[in-house]
């Protein structure tokens, strides 16, 4: 289809991570799928303008984010941003406790992180972009990316700790006798 770029390979390589990024932005599976499709649609239209194949990933994530923001602006539906107090010392969360959470729970926890930090964090985890590429996608200095990642991770740990705590609180331990009868 393309002279230099194999489109099918690009879709196969990036569609899942783009979908996850879209899901974290839109928080809606249908919108996430639409955003992912729209991103590849734009890519198909402009692929000949991308001369460096190594920039494709960064281009796709930048485009998806722009499309999301465009949609948000057109709907005049700015996401509510709740600013939380800064957390300097994140609460400890054991790896086992963390592993006990499923993907959806981690994704939900991610959505509770301040938007300012969340987008950098999502790009870090979901796209596995480098801090330089994240800076490019978000059009901010690299120092700001590092700062947002650092603070974002602290908030994510705090949110995940809460999730683990909430989950454990819901589990009511059975009395010893009842346990024995099973």
Partner 1 sequence: MKRPHIKVTTESARFLMSAYRPNGADAQDPVFKKALEQIGSDPGLAKWFNDQREFDEIVLERLNSVQPPPELKSAILTGVRTTMIHRERFQYRWLALAAILLISCFILGKFNFPHAANQFDAFQSDMLALFHPLPVLDLSTDSFEQTQQFLKANAAPTAPNVPEELRRMQTAGCKSLRWRGHMVSVTCFELPNGDFLHLFVVNKGTFADSPIPHGFLKNGDWHILFSESDGMVLMWMSRAPMNELRMLV
Q: Which stretches of the chain bind partner 1, using CB under 8 A?
A: 1, 7-8, 11-12, 15-16, 19-20, 23, 29, 32-33, 36-37, 40-41, 43-45, 93, 95, 98-99, 101-107, 110, 124-126, 128, 130-131, 145-147, 149-150, 153, 156-157
CB of 43 to partner 1, least distance (A): 8
Task: Report how far residue 19's alpha carbon sits from residue 33's, in angstroms, rounded to the nearest whole number.
Answer: 6
CB of 17 to partner 1, least distance (A): 8
Of 26, 32, 16, which is closest to residue 126 (Cα–Cα)? 16
Q: Are 58 and 137 in contact (CB under 8 A)?
A: yes
Question: Which CB atom, from 62 or from 154, has the smaller least distance to partner 1?
Answer: 154
Question: Which CB atom, from 50 or from 181, has the smaller least distance to partner 1?
Answer: 50
Question: Which CB atom, from 87 or from 105, has the smaller least distance to partner 1?
Answer: 105
Residue 127: what are its φ and ψ, rounded to 5°?
-105, -15
CB of 107 to partner 1, least distance (A): 6
Q: What does the buried/exposed string (b/e) look like for 25-43 if buried means 16 or more CB atoms within 10 Å of the residue's CB?
A: bbeeeeebeebbebbbebb
The structure tokens 């992180």 sit at: 113
């Amino acid at each position: 289809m393309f002279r230099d770029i194999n489109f099918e390979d690009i879709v196969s390589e990036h569609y899942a991570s783009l979908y996850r990024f879209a899901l974290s932005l839109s928080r809606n599976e249908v919108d996430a799928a639409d955003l992912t499709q729209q991103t590849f649609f734009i890519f198909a239209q402009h692929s000949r303008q991308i001369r460096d194949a190594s920039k494709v990933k960064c281009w796709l994530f930048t485009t998806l984010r722009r499309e999301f923001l465009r949609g948000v602006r057109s709907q005049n539906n700015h996401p509510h941003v709740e600013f939380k107090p800064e957390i300097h010392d994140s609460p400890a969360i054991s790896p086992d406790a963390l592993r006990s959470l499923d993907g959806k729970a981690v994704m939900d926890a991610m959505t509770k992180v301040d938007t300012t930090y969340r987008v950098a964090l999502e790009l870090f985890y979901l796209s596995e972009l480098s801090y330089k590429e994240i800076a490019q996608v978000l059009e901010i200095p690299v120092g700001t990316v590092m700062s947002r990642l650092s603070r974002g991770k602290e908030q994510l740990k705090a949110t995940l700790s809460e999730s683990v705590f909430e989950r454990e609180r819901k589990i009511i331990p059975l009395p010893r006798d009842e346990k024995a009868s099973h």
